[in-house]
Amino acid sequence: CGIFGVIGVSDASNFVALGLHALQHRGQEAGGIVCHHPEFGFNSIRSFGYVRDNFTSADVMETLPGPLAIGHVRYSTAGSKAAVIRDVQPFFGEFSMGGAAIAHNGNITNALALRRELIERGSIFQSSSDSECIIHLMARSLQKGIPERMEDALRRVEGAFSVVAMTRTKLIGVRDPLGVRPLVLGKVGDGWVLSSETCALDIIGAEFVREIEPGEMVVISADKGVESRHPFRPQPSKFCIFEHVYFSRPDSIIGGQSVYETRRRIGVELAREAPVEADLVCPVPDSGTPAAIGFSQESGIPYAMGIIRNQYMGRTFIEPTEQIRNMGVRLKLNVNRALIKGKRVILVDDSVVRGTTSRKIKEMILDAGAAEVHFRIASPPTAWPCFYGVDTPQREKLLAATMSEEEMRQHLNVDSLRFVSLDGLYRAAGEPDGRKNSCPQYCDACFSGEYPVEPSDMIAKGFEL
């Protein structure tokens, strides 16, 4: 998901709409904005579909006035997969000291246990979302202020959370102690901005100030500016390495590093680790593009657009059902036949999950007369599900959970298939010595099976590590 908030500008919700539009790649199912105006109080709109279709008309935006607003774009990982408006964030709660709204990115790994406990003690849940636990935990806290209630609530929550929240007068940002999901602070005029990624600061002309640190809470008010707190026990950080591989936008900066440059360097690593003779290097657009550029630069094999993407389709993987996803590949990608015919082609993609994309593309490209097809994948085999906010399927559906690399190659029926090594990925992500196996610098559980936070709800349901 994508989260964004602004304080201290007039018509903050317009900025939030733009910010969410720049974060649309993080979630396309639905979006919502909550705002506060000193005279009119809180208001909110939550809708299915794209930000550009829901939050651009003057009629709509006029109903969201005020100097303070937050927003969320949703991609369902927890909660129901069916489109239910009550699962769309931000969530709102009324407390004795006033209202508060929260927008959450990540996934709470003990949400089922918390929900059961909260319901037994009288909480009335409105949604099926794990994020709603935070509001109910806040309601049960005995603290006087809303930020303090949030601290109490988040200390009971396990897993991955970046949160943007608001009260009548404050904008609040928090990252979980491991800092699994991103969150950055920006400045726009006299106001302040919180955003999942820096690309959404650019769109409103905000200046990047710094990242919110893992385990940090910032409480921002228009008059007092930014106050920083550290409510959690410090732990070694475990930022999601898959943000570098796929999830973030290539024009964002994470940890001082350009996401584009990291992806390009993954391609360089791949070309060194798994060279092959061929005529063309082609990306599977758009997610494979920077790595394909790096592969071409390192190998000297010309880069070409062998597959053309229809720009009017969303990200296939994020479409919630298998059937739509299956169709999606053909609706979205087509082979550039004139270029491919008779050529030995290296195809570069960011990841293989179920193998749906790769299999369809291989069929399309052989059908177009390619002489050879070599897959190079810019992440290690995805053999484990993510429980921290990226929607990977159950373990059984992951190709790499049951097959070796050679079995996957046969299954996809391609001339060769190679994945970047975990060390190669770490080198590309700015760790020259690769992965420290004793205490990895990132979360890489979907590749390694080493989960930095025990997924306790899933273990209770029978998931085996």
Nearer to ligand 5GP, 61 or 417 (CB): 417
With tokens 């097809």, the residue in question is: 373
Catalytic residue flag (residue 1): yes
Select from ligand 5GP, ligand SF4, Mg ion, none the partner in contact with residue 191, using the beta carbon and a kind-dependent cut-off of 5 to 8 Å: none
CB of 246 to ligand 5GP, least distance (A): 6
- Distance between CA atoms of 347 and 270, rounded to whole angstroms? 12
**Which phi and psi angles does 188 have, rounded to 5°?**
-130, 115
| 237 labeled binding residue | no
State yes or no: residue 180 binds ligand SF4 (CB under 6 A). Answer: yes
CB of 276 to ligand 5GP, least distance (A): 20
- Distance between CA atoms of 427 and 331, rounded to whole angstroms? 35
State yes or no: residue 348 binds ligand 5GP (CB under 6 A). Answer: no
Per-residue binder mask for ligand 5GP (CB under 6 A), 425-454, x = binder: ------------------------------
State yes or no: residue 383 binds ligand 5GP (CB under 6 A). Answer: no
CB of 447 to ligand SF4, least distance (A): 7
**Which phi and psi angles does 205 have, rounded to 5°?**
70, 25
In angstroms, how far apart are the furthest CA atoms of the chain?
72
| 349 labeled binding residue | yes
User: Nearest CA to 53 among 76, 24, 75?
Assistant: 24
Record the tokens describing residue 461, joined without a space.
Answer: 């349901």
Q: Is-contact 251 289, C-beta < 8 A?
A: no
| 386 labeled binding residue | yes
State yes or no: residue 211 binds ligand SF4 (CB under 6 A). Answer: no
| 83 secondary structure, DSSP code | -
- Distance between CA atoms of 392 and 319, rounded to whole angstroms? 12
- Distance between CA atoms of 92 and 104, rounded to whole angstroms? 12
| 423 labeled binding residue | no
CB of 230 to ligand SF4, least distance (A): 22
Q: Which of residues 388-407 bind ligand 5GP (CB under 6 A)?
A: 390-392
For 35, how many CA atoms within 13 A lie in the half-sphere containing its CB? 27
Going 402 to 405 to 410 to 411, the CA torsion angle's sign is positive
300, burial (CB in 10 Å: exposed 0-12, middle 13-18, buried 19+): exposed
CB of 250 to ligand 5GP, least distance (A): 13
User: Nearest CA to 132 among 194, 193, 80, 185?
Assistant: 80
Per-residue binder mask for ligand SF4 (CB under 6 A), 427-456, x = binder: ----------------xxxx----------
Select from Mg ion, ligand 5GP, ligand SF4, none the partner in contact with residue 180, using the beta carbon and a kind-dependent cut-off of 5 to 8 Å: ligand SF4
List 91, 242, 295, 426, residue binding ligand SF4 (CB under 6 A) = 242
Active site residues: 1
Contact positions toward ligand SF4, by CB under 6 A? 180, 240-242, 386, 388, 390, 443-446
Contact positions toward ligand 5GP, by CB under 6 A? 246, 284, 287, 315, 317-318, 349-358, 382, 390-392
